[in-house]
Amino acid sequence: MTVKVAAIQMCSGVDPQRNADTMARLVRDAAAKGAVYVQTPEMTGALQKNRAELRAILRNAENDIIVSRAAELARDLKIHVHVGSTAIARDDDKIANRGFLFGPDGTRICSYDKIHMFDVDLDNGESWRESAAYQPGSEARVTDLGFAKLGFAICYDVRFPQLFRAEAVAGAEILTVPAAFTRQTGEAHWEILLRARAIENGAFLVAAAQGGVHEDGRETYGHSMIIDPWGRVLASAGGDGEAVVMAELDIAAVKAARAKIPNLKNARDFTLAQSQAMAPAGGEAA
């Protein structure tokens, strides 16, 4: 079965209404070109480094403009709309970095909270502490789109292959990595990580990204991509600004790739032993 999918690249600012309008325009463009599944990037609703100002615009899922607009788009266009993520207010004063999937009737099929927090210290003084404000998720997700099974992840999750392996073992044929990768880490690792996750799981991978210089001053890498189960890049955007990246996926290619390299079936349980240095002949270890 062949289906057309799209990854939406954005350069989200600090105003959720403006970002929602941009999302709607790009999703409609993708649908007009035949996409039946459209993914938006991480933090579609707003990229705002100032935590106080971010909290001022936060809403719960029932009242969030990105969530409601995505549901409307899915229903109006009769497609699957996957909000890669947006910031959602939780009842415990924490924030969820949450993705949402809506079906062609506008129904929310499921949501996914980013599991791994981006707590890092990079070169040139660039430092991030997501865990200071965000509550990590604890549950991986796989859902059936009808034409394929979809596995969820968000941005920094891509560095944890065990998440993608668990989803692939559970039947995921399309893996997802909506992201707001920093320019520094993106230049070094973005494409190779995405291709590795696709190859090692014999799955398609769709990664919608933020790209450009944002209103809050951060720079994101862009280069939204769609990759096939053999690790080939089917489509890719540039580094800055808006884009609609599209590709036709032959879902049968997943079965074919996994038949050629059946590593999901060939995996074995093992134990890890740590050995101490052996004493040299005729003496004791120092």
Helices 161-169 and 183-201, packing angle to 10 deg: 30
How far is C-alpha 175 from the chain's CA centre?
Answer: 8
Given the residues 42, 130, 173, 219, the one annotated as active site: 42
Please give the DSSP secondary-structure letter assigned to residue 36.
S
Active site residue: 114, 130, 149, 219, which one? Answer: 114
Which two three-digit tokens encode residue 1?
A: 């079965």
> Which of these, 139, 133, 131, lies nearest to 99 by C-alpha position?
139
- Can you read off the two tokens belonging to residue 129? 């502490």
Q: How far apart are CA 109 and CA 114, in angstroms?
A: 17
Catalytic annotation present for 173: no
**Is residue 215 annotated as a catalytic residue, yes or no?**
no
Separation CA 12–CA 33 (nearest Å): 23
Reply yes or no on whether 42 is catalytic: yes
Q: How far is CA 268 from the centre of its chain?
A: 28
CB 42 within 8 A of CB 19: no
**175: Cβ contacts below 8 Å, ≥ 6 apart:** 150, 151, 153, 164, 167, 168, 197, 198, 201, 203, 204, 205, 206
Catalytic residue among 11, 155, 167, 173: 155
Q: Are 151 and 176 in contact (CB under 8 A)?
A: yes
SS3 state at 241: coil
Catalytic residues: 42, 114, 155
